[in-house]
Structure 1
């Protein structure tokens, strides 16, 4: 997938760290920001070969030295090592997009404590570590953009996905509170909350289940990862300098 040429979203060259960027929404975000001229740090958990492919696409789009990195976002120590690697390269991301995440389909009675903690580590505690590690440089430089990938289930809740819904709901509150803390330094913090997107997260659905899901969406289709990337692109652009603390729904009219 490539992007057509478009007006630059940034007033100058920027460096973006995109977590979970080896596939799906994260990869679409990485390519979209690269098409606008950003150097992109393409993060993955384990799919380094795929992340390298995305980084190569980013280099061809932006002409910058975009590259892939690997770390487990569940681990604060792993993220500290990631920051150390970027420090050695003299890189301070002024755009942070947190797309890394996992799906989990269970009723509460079938959700054990280990699974609950894992969902919160992947989606929420990771956001704490990323903001704590990369936020200070943005504050010092008095510029920066953070966008966290949430979900409509963090806004409405979903039966059978209570741990996921709770983690995303916490991420939404984290976004709003952090936005208030960082606003005085010129740093904006927002979240994008998609509905059903055509990614690997829907791979567990049967064709019949997917068709039933699409039937509930007023626009009559799933979102494309590139459409989520375009929303992220706006939030990190110069045009969104007055937008902060928002959770932007993107559901095709499914949840209003």
Structure 2
């Protein structure tokens, strides 16, 4: 059923800016957010230090055959790993606690607001999404999605971003020329893959639409099987359904062909870029 244009709460597309309204729920937990942010920075820095530690183990330990320096480096790496483990555990606990607390506060506020609504809101025949069962489902399922978003996904995204920036900075400091090649080669390698990927996604959606059409046509025909047989429409329905099957198959073949090209192009581009950097 199309959305009612008179209802401001019903929109054709979700607005990501609505998530910004949830930030005020995080205000009482600024202290935990600060602890989680510090733990994230410490953990990301520790991961970056491990790479330098491995370099020292190889250069000053194994290659130099200096057992004393090797022991010192391994001990330092053990200390870094201990800090990494503690910071990661602290970050995970804090962001998970915040996510669970946010979901709980949101459920409570939504339920308190629902208790103040008129009974007619839940009994409207034109808005099936306002039924008590549907609202109860959203009260649990949708808030669980938000809990996962704020309790895990955002934290992982920020951690990966910090590690990416730190890695680029270390590369520029240690090997500026090689880093320039990498920074230039990544867009050249990734952009064609992204172009192919978008085309594959469009074909995947088209293929899903074809399969959904098969289900719709079969359901419609079987629901009216008495009418179909009464008018001896079986042959026509067999033909129409067969045509839809072939259309779905043709779309799937095109999608598979494009995905195969994507896989081959991605492998070729990645290994060519790695070979070029090694040659330099």
TM-score (normalised: structure 2) = 0.28
Structure ranking higher on relative contact order (CA contacts 8 Å, 6+ apart): 1
In proportion to residue count, which structure has more helix? 2
**TM-score if structure 1 supplies the norm length?**
0.30
